[in-house]
Structures are given as C-alpha cells and as structure tokens.
Amino acid sequence: MKGKSMSEYDPESDFRIDWDENAEGGVVIAKYIGSKKEVRIPPNIQNFPVTGIGDDAFADNKNITDITIPNGVTSIGFFAFSDCTCLNSITIPNSVAKIGYAVFEDCTSLTAINVDSDNTAYSSDNGVLFNKTKTSLIKYPAGKTGSSFDIPNGVTSIEEHSFYCCASLTCITIPDSVNCIGERAFSGCAGLAGVTIPGGVTSIGSTAFSGCFNLTAINVAADNNAYTAVDDVLYNKDKTSLHTYPAGKTSSTFIIPDSVTTIGEHAFYYCACLTDIAIPKGVTSIGEWAFSGCAGLTSIDLPDCIIGIGNGVFADCINLTSVNIPNSVTGIGFLAFANCSSLTGITIPDSVTSIKFHAFDRCANLTSVTFQGTISSDNFDKTAFSNTQSEIKSNDLPEKYFSDSGGTGTYIRFPEGKIWRKQ
C-alpha cells in the first residue's frame, strides 16, 4: 500500500507463511502467531507478496479485535477467522476474488464486514457481505445489533452459514426472489421464532434451521412447488420427506404422517419437549443426527424397513431407556447413541455387520449388550462402547466379543464395573 512504511505493519515474525499454489511467487498466511489485538498484515513477507490468507490462519484467536488485510490478497481460505470472538469489524480489499467456506464462523463480536467499493467480486451493504451483484447473501455478522432483518429483494441465494449463530435476530424476512437456502443458513439463530419460505424456494439445506431452539413455526407459501408445511412442520411438497420439526414447539407428542418415507438430517435436532415420536412403518431412511438432543424421548420404535442407524441419530438422548433395532439394520454409525446415559440394555440383531467408532460412547449405565449375529473385527470399532466421560472404561467389550469364548450372546457388567463378561 502506498504511503505506509513497513514499520506500520506487524513484524514478519508474527506470521507463518507457505507458498501460494494459485499465485506464482506469492505466499499465504498459514498461521498468525503474534499477540496483538490490532493486526496489520504486511503486503510482503521475506520479500514475497502476500497473496492469500490460508485455511484457519487466524482461527480460535480470542485476542484480535481488528485485522487489516493488504491490497494484493486475492483469496481468504476456509475458516480463516473462525472463532475470533473479539473481532469487531473487517474490511475486504479490492483485490480479494475468493472467500472460502465459513470464514467468519463464530465471530460473535463481529458487527460489520466492509468491502472496498472497487472490489469486483464482493460488496457490502450496512455491514452485510454479498457478492458483487447482491444476488447472493454470504454473511450477516453474528455480532450485529438489531432484532429483525429484511433480506433485500433481488437476493436469490442465502449461502451456507450466512446467519449462523445470529442469536439477536428474532425475525428474518425472506423475499420472493430467493430460490436457495444453504446448509446451516439460519443454524444457531436461537432467538428466531418463525420463518416463512416464499414460493420460489426450490432448495433448503438439511441443517438450515438446526439449533434454532425458539423456532415454533415454519410456514411455506401456498404456491411453492418444492415444499409445504403442515402444523408448522416443514416437508417436501408431497410429504414423503420430513425436513424440519421446529425445536421450539412445545408439544410432547408427534405422529409422523404415514406418507413420510424419509426423515431428514437434524429433522428433530434438540426438540427437547418431545417425549413420544411415532414413526410410520413406511420410513426407510433416517438422516444423521435426526433425533439428537431429544432429551425428553424415553423410547423409540424403529420400523422394519430401516437399513441403517446413521451418525449421531440418537446422540444426547439422555433419557432414552429403550430402543428396538430391527433386523433390517446393517450398520450403526459413529456416535449413534453417544451419551444416551439412561440406556441400560441393547440388542444388536444378526443383520448388523458394522458398528462405527464411539457408537455407544458415554452410555455410562449400559450394562447389558446382546449380539445376535457375527461382526467382523474390521467392522467392529474398538471404541464403539467406550466411556470417555467417567472413570468407567468399557472398551474391552469388542475384545471380549472376539475372544475364544466370545461371539454371539449377552455381555454384562455391573453398574460401576469396568469389565464386561459373557453370560
């Protein structure tokens, strides 16, 4: 930058650098190792031009309040400033042509993302980051004040993580121009009470509303051809797929319609008020983390058509005491029942051929496991029954299963015991 002496920038020793594969002769900031609150990135380090900010370069820095990016930087990598919880504002210079995924994730104090007016790829409106033509809303700063926001008409895409953890927002208006809502677009908007999906939306990320703990109503315009809502619950248009049950609904029971064959990822994520969920017999697929955090759920009957229990499906269901695994299930994913601390017994049917890592992690009261079939050592992870949150270490269950006297049968341990034994 003209007019600035190198003394006005932070010392080169505060930055670890690497070659920029996309700019010959340029370097990227691989990691900031300094301790300043106000960071001034030099335009050159070791006589090489700084052309990029790498993935995670400033991630998890709790000290930085301000960062100056020199003109000449053309790219900002994935999670570059994520979890910089004291970062207040930032200006994107005119040279930046590419901003990666979740760059400002969990920047909870960030009130404004400004963009040089000469930048040809990006723009800013009142501190909100857009592409140049303002058809794509990229990031609403999580620390921005105000309880409501009207997305400008003309925006067609609400990008992934765009409103992630914007806890102060209670109302967001989506214009008719929008056709795409990305993954985790509104995830963690804990104050959001309701949302209306306009008629032109054809795609909604499966985790778009995950972690919206006060969301009680999702409405869909009647002329939408891709989605519908019934009793504030979001489905695809023909109601074969349940997309999102609002986490703030206070009902204790819910009967999933018979038309549903697929329960989406995060569909009931942290719906703490539900104590009973009836799943119809026609359901063949349950998405990852679908019932995770349903703390009121005490039991669940899975239909016979389910072929797998995916990653994290029942994780943190702390009051789940019983679950039937049907003989159609072939695999149990990682963290599938993690922290189901009230679960005392489980039967693994002979159809199951795979149990992933930490599947039953932290199930501290699990004292009886029955295996009805054979699982190969390659598909039975040694951490599947680990208990990492207490002094009880139950990792020896796979070892006992594969011992000479193991195999099919029931294995038990005392409630405070560390050792599994076969009955």
Dump pLDDT digits (tens) for 366-396: 999 999 999 999 999 999 998 744 444 556 8
The torsion angles phi and psi of 314, rounded to 5 degrees, stand at -115, 20
Tens of pLDDT, residues 84-133: 999 999 999 999 999 999 999 999 999 999 999 999 999 999 999 999 99
| 244 has pLDDT over 50 | yes
| Cα 42 to chain centroid, rounded | 34
Categorize the per-residue pLDDT at 416 as very low, low, confident or very high, splitting at 50, 70 and 90.
confident
Beta bridge partners of 53: 29, 76
pTM for this one?
Answer: 0.92
The DSSP letter of residue 327 is: T
CATH 3.40.30.10 correct for 250-423: no
Cα 212 to Cα 179, 185, 218, 226: the distances in Å are 21, 11, 11, 22
Distance from C-alpha of 122 to C-alpha of 124, rounded to nearest angstrom: 7
| 1 has pLDDT over 80 | no
Q: What is the pLDDT of residue 7?
A: 56
| 5 has pLDDT over 90 | no
Query: Which residues of the chain form CATH 3.80.10.10?
Result: 1-130, 146-239, 250-423
CATH 3.80.10.10 correct for 146-239: yes
In this structure, which CATH number among 3.40.605.10, 3.40.50.2000, 3.80.10.10, 3.60.20.30 belongs to the domain 1-130?
3.80.10.10
Long-range own/partner contacts, residues 88-91 (CB < 8 A, 24 or more apart): 88/112, 88/143, 89/113, 89/114, 89/127, 90/66, 90/114, 91/115, 91/116
Cβ neighbours around 59 below 10 Å, total = 20
| 79 has pLDDT over 50 | yes
Give me 418's structure tokens: 């560390």
Q: What is the pLDDT of residue 14?
A: 96
Cα 196 to Cα 99, 116, 143, 321: the distances in Å are 29, 33, 24, 36
CA-based angle 205:209:210, to the nearest 5? 100
